[in-house]
Amino acid sequence: MNHLNYFEPYKSKGPHHEDQLTRAFLVVLRMVPLVQTTFIDLVRSYQILNEHDRVLPTLTELQMKLDNIQTQVKNITDSQGYLVSLLMTNKNWTPENKIENVDRSARYDGVIYFDSDPKWILVIENKPWSENVWEEQLNPSIAEDSEIEIVEDPVGIDWKEVIECLSALLQKQLVHGAEALLIEDFLTFVDTHFGSLNPFSKFSICKDDPYLINRRCVRILESISIGEVQGQHIELGSNDLPARRIYLGIKREQDNNWCIELKIHPGDTMAQARALYESLNTDALQDLTNRGWNIDPNLHFSHIQKHLCWANTPLDLEAYINFWEQNPQMISQVNRDSSDFRDFFRQLLQLELISCEDVSGLEENFTETGRSYLRTCPGLSCIYRWNREEALRLDDSEDTFIDEVRQKITRLLETWD
């Protein structure tokens, strides 16, 4: 029981051990009531679909609740009730034999006791890899004088169904706060250590659901392994690089269609912009625009670490890049006491770096505030898109989409040192 205390994990078993998966799931089950209801519904659905003679009631049907959850125990502590044996594995499983009481030295991966009248006991055998399933392990070992009635029909739950249901709770915002965070951490744990159980391993099985597609994008970013993945982006780490973050995610389009966007914004800060124009290979970058990349000026202005307004730059991309390569001194901080902001804005307007419509935004964020300076960040916006059909086709081939994303990133990063 101690191992179901969140702060008492196994210390002798690695994260890839199946007992760690059992513990992690039972912790979530113990702490999140809606997960309890969801899991019971999965068990009931299997029993009803397979026309079992005795079906586990809902939590509300008999006003019952989960009384106790245990893991890695040798004995069934209750002496009466209905006992259901359940297998959790990585595919839809069809049992060959009925469940019966056997004389063996048992160790149960999980035991769930329901406080109800009559009592119910759910015994869980976890086998993440179906080739390790041995049906004899589903048979309980209980004392001969016990009043426990064994339900002969076992239940098989596919881990993918469990993960789909947990993801749906998050997607539909049915859980919040610590409960939502606990589910998110569990799903991350599964993705990291039991990736084969992840049902969203291809775009084609994400059911056009934005939440699930973004989860698939996170897995792709993790597979690329060029930096730490935080949310929907890779964090490259150093401020000395022309770009720090690489984004991959869904973009919704008209008619409920979608595409996948790969986005990199080099020169996003003043320091990154200086590094960018010191080493940029303009010809190589321009060549990418002929290979499907959308690359545009991304001039914006910041104060401290906050970007405040973006310019609609009239200059074309080549002229924009040439200007900043030839005028690196203008990638700087403009102080109020050394220059009139309005003079600086007029200069940018004459150089066609900003448009007339941009001036009001700059006035509002700088001239009319107490901010003592602004920082000029002449970045670039680099976006590559795969439409829905292309993303589905590439991702249905083994690692093809992952390789394509890695290749796109590599070619863009190679345009600067």
Q: What is the pLDDT of residue 100?
A: 92
Q: What is the pLDDT of residue 339?
A: 66
Q: Whole-angstrom Cα distance, residue 332 to residue 384?
A: 29
| Structure letter (DSSP) for residue 153 | S
CA–CA distances in Å: residue 18 to residues 13, 15, 23, 106, 131 = 9, 8, 9, 17, 13
Identify which of 97, 143, 416, 140 has the alpha carbon closest to the alpha carbon of residue 281: 416
Asked if residues 317 and 379 have their Cβ atoms less than 8 Å apart, the reply is: no
Cα 309 to chain center, whole Å? Answer: 30
Q: What is the pLDDT of residue 1?
A: 46
Asked if residues 31 and 6 have their Cβ atoms less than 8 Å apart, the reply is: yes
Q: What is the pLDDT of residue 10?
A: 81
Domain spans of the chain, in order of start: 2-161, 205-413
Q: What is the pLDDT of residue 63?
A: 66
Q: What is the pLDDT of residue 3?
A: 65
Q: Whole-angstrom Cα distance, residue 299 to residue 31?
A: 48
Q: Helix 18-31 and helix 33-49: axis angle, to 10°?
A: 110
Each residue's pLDDT tens digit in the chain (417 positions)? 456 777 777 877 888 889 899 999 999 999 999 999 999 999 999 999 999 999 998 877 756 677 789 999 888 988 889 999 999 998 888 888 899 999 888 889 999 998 887 889 999 999 998 887 888 888 999 988 889 999 999 999 999 899 989 988 988 899 999 999 999 999 889 888 888 788 878 898 887 888 889 989 998 998 888 888 888 999 987 767 899 999 999 999 877 799 999 999 999 999 999 999 999 999 999 999 999 999 999 999 999 889 999 999 999 999 999 999 999 999 999 988 766 788 889 999 999 999 999 999 999 988 888 888 999 999 999 999 999 999 999 998 878 999 999 999 999 999 987
pLDDT in tens, 44-89: 999 999 999 999 988 777 566 777 899 998 889 888 899 999 999 9
282 HSE (CA, 13 A, CB side): 12
118 preceded by cis ω (within 30°)?
Answer: yes
C-alpha dihedral (235, 236, 238, 240), degrees to nearest 10: -120
Say whether pTM exceeds 0.85: no
pLDDT in tens, 281-295: 999 999 999 999 999
- The three-class DSSP label of residue 54 is coil
Q: What is the pLDDT of residue 349?
A: 94
> What's the distance, Cα to Cα, between the start and end of the chain in Å?
55
